[in-house]
Structure 1
């Protein structure tokens, strides 16, 4: 039992309760399409396991994971709607930012305050023994690549909110707070998992493309944002340099977080230990045509000694299964990019990040799309337009 499953159970009860209060529940074609992809992908994986005579149903039950994320997202959005009267992209981003910032603070406290570490370790079981063995920071249920993927997604959402939401961009105080959270997640998140770098790079590229900075011209409406951005980054860099020279723990963690940068400055070569290990040991591909097509039906227990998502998916369910899984995320990105032009570029970057993440680890980002399927709208304006039907429970 974990919080995701608990939230999913709450979401099921909420949906049942809402269904008793209204005459009908609206389920859009968008989510029906997503359900179709999840079910068909699960069937392909089931066929692979059956064809290869294995009992490894790691992704044959993907439709269950899909349902858990959807119902969990429904519970979260229901709670936010009860407090704020609506649930939109801005509110979701602010809540997720607070959670990620809190995880970063918790990771620092666990690392530096033994009493707090004992409290967390005595309450949450998250493989702490391994994390301590490899000397990695961890939050409360947030560690390794899974945490890095979530930090990356939230960084990109913060960037999109700062660029696209006028109520945020027009308030210097809000810009400062969001940027401080952004850079805290970037720094401490990388100390927890260097996968966070993916989100940092994607976010900076998003800002460059979305604001037109690529043309080396700063439009007037973004002037306050960039001025504040330069100020905050100067403060963050200054504090980081000070701690780098005065705090042994920060020195150790920051060198791990940005190992590639330090190696580039000191040796002229951008390398990291994990990247070298991936290139040296983990690019493992099928050795026969049958496995290339339908896979071997084996995924669990690190059976092929590789973390790389592309390798693990293809070895499990072949190019047939992996291609359908990839199409599932292309579908999700397309649905929401088409729904709202303001955030279309963000969903394009989500899609790129999906394929980049699979170079490192076999995980996906459907958890964020699950939330978007349950929103009233991607912005406040959309939510207000839908207010006439707001009281009907929706899986949008």
Structure 2
């Protein structure tokens, strides 16, 4: 599950682990199809999920053809997405073999477990150079990642196979699906304290890697507290649990800081830079937000680019993004125009809607829109795709089927 969530590119493998899962899943599904009826209808999922992607593919091909470009990020995305559907098939079979069925909330538990493991590894890498060298030697990094690691060492956590904006996407996503779990499953005070202790562990570690984790945390908190405001007893239990969990997490962090070489002040200065600047100067900003604002000054200067883009994803060096902008919306417009951008947004929305419909969620629209909001906000910062993280849920279901009005 760790390999699936963080999509590791190990040095001794020619492709990512997820793509290997996809190839293996295709052969396994073909074998099960020959021997009998497969347990999961993979091909129907491929058909249902790939249809909205065809518009993304269409506008991508139009831009490539009219601009004479050879950059094909969204064609590669379609290939990765196709493999992801098959790659999660053996995982779904394993869950069904162990638990009898693939429950949505069981999958969420595994997401949380691998996130906690990632936090432990990341802190160990930050505190001990030997651990850092060992784990980084196992991963194949591209030039952009290598440059980022060199610039960031010593003041932020670098995860095992993840870091920077991608880390914020993953851990923000995990915090949001944790809030779904909370609405359905968390009842007692003990469960509340354990839940929020784990929640803050992922939140703090994720923020020390990428501050965009805070976006997912804010959405998750809103979703959680909206469930507690209807009952005074539940709201009091919620506040008490959050307070107790904060005390536990801070105590553990200070203990680790005192007995190991983890400099919490350095990490917190990075993770909560905006809040620190606000308390000191009244300015709610950080170095990255200032850089991001400057990037918004780079916009297309002709109608052709606005409509169909330039079919460019990277600049001529192949190291930096085209037009030197990280902004997700602008990168997509520069690649295949507003038409392509709208098709990609539509694809993400339909995908998330399909996932929660297939999971048999009561009022599935509420859950799909919550994750879609996460997608919309993070695109203000960088390019984001939630399909590869979410695909595994296409095989899961909420069991037993519950009504949120009872919660």
What is the rounded CA distance, in whole Å, between the counterparts of 1:328 and 1:203 in structure 2?
Answer: 23
Number of residues of Structure 1 aligned to a counterpart in Structure 2: 374
Q: Deviations over 1:297-329 (max 9, x none)?
A: 111331210111000001100111111111112
What residue is the counterpart of 2:134 in the other structure? 119
CA gap of 1:241–1:119, structure 2 versus 1, over 3 A, is closer
| 1:331 counterpart residue number | 350
After TM superposition, give the deviation of residue 107 of structure 1 in Å. 0.7
Task: Indicate yes or no: 2:42 matched with 1:22.
Answer: no
Give yes or no for contact 1:243–1:250 (8 Å, CA) kept in 2: no
Pair 1:330–1:130, CA change in 2 (3 A): closer
Judged with a 3 Å threshold, the aligned counterparts in structure 2 of structure 1 residues 238 and 121 are, in CA distance, closer, same or farther, namely closer
Moved more, 347-356 or 232-241: 232-241
Note the C-alpha offset of 1:382.
4.5
Structure 1 distance, partners of 2:88, 2:238, is 31
The 5 A counterparts of 1:1-396 are 1-23=15-37, 26=41, 32-126=47-141, 127-128=145-146, 130-135=148-153, 136-165=156-185, 169-211=186-228, 213=229, 217-220=230-233, 224-237=237-250, 249-300=263-314, 301=318, 302-338=321-357, 339-341=360-362, 344-375=365-396, 377=397, 379-382=398-401
Q: Contact 1:42–1:61 (CA<8 Å) still a contact in 2?
A: no
Bigger Cα displacement from structure 2, 79-88 vs 258-267 = 79-88
With over 3 angstroms needed to count, the CA separation of the structure-2 counterparts of 1:268 and 1:154, relative to structure 1, is same
Partner of 2:3: none
Structure 1 243/264 Cα, relative in aligned 2: closer, same or farther at 3 Å?
A: farther
| TM score, norm. by length of structure 1 | 0.86
Q: Are the aligned partners of 1:42 and 1:62 in contact in 2 as well (CA < 8 Å)?
A: no
Q: CA distance change for structure 1 residues 233 and 346 in 2, over 3 Å: closer, same or farther?
A: farther
Aligned equivalents of 1:95 and 1:33: distance in 2? 26
- Contact map agreement 1:8 1:75 (CA 8 A) in 2: no
Deviates more, 1:131-140 or 1:239-248: 239-248
DSSP 3-state at the match of 1:60:
helix
8 A Cα contact 2:63 2:309, kept in partner: yes
Contact residue 310 and residue 358 of structure 1 kept, 8 A: yes
Distance 1:355 1:172 in 2: 34
Distance in 2 (alpha carbons) for counterparts of 1:117 and 1:363: 27
What do residues 116-153 of structure 1 show as CA deviations (whole Å, max 9, x unaligned)?
A: 22221222223456413322421211111111101001
User: How far did 1:269 drift?
Assistant: 1.2
Task: Give me the CA root mean square deviation.
Answer: 2.6
Give the distance between the partners of 1:17 and 1:176, measured in 2 at CA: 45
- 1:390 alignment partner in structure 2: none
Between stretches 71-80 and 186-195, larger displacement belongs to 71-80
User: Could you tell me how far 1:224 is from its partner in structure 2?
Assistant: 4.2
SS at match of 1:293: helix
Q: Distance in 2 between matches of 1:283 and 1:149?
A: 25
Alignment check: 8 A CA contact 2:194 2:245 kept: no
Q: d(CA) in 2 for partners of 1:313 and 1:267?
A: 35
Cα 1:264–1:242 shift into 2, 3 Å: farther
Once the two structures are TM-superposed, the CA of residue 54 in structure 1 deviates from its matched residue by 1.0
Whether the aligned pair in 2 keeps the contact of 1:243 and 1:251 (CA below 8 Å) is no
Task: State how far apart, in whole Å, the 1-side matches of 2:219 and 2:381 are.
Answer: 16
How many angstroms apart in 2 are the aligned matches of 1:283 and 1:35?
A: 35
Q: Distance in 1 between matches of 2:45 and 2:235?
A: 34
Contact 1:284/1:306, CA 8 A, preserved across alignment: yes
Superposed CA deviations along residues 330-364 of structure 1, whole A, max 9, x for unmatched, are 21233345542265433221010111111111121
Distance (whole Å) between structure 2 residues aligned to residue 248 and residue 23 of structure 1: 53
User: How many angstroms apart in 1 are the aligned matches of 2:346 and 2:201?
Assistant: 34
> How many Å separate the matches in 2 of 1:106 and 1:308?
30
CA offset at residue 161 of structure 1?
A: 0.6
Deviation at 1:115, TM superposition (A): 2.1
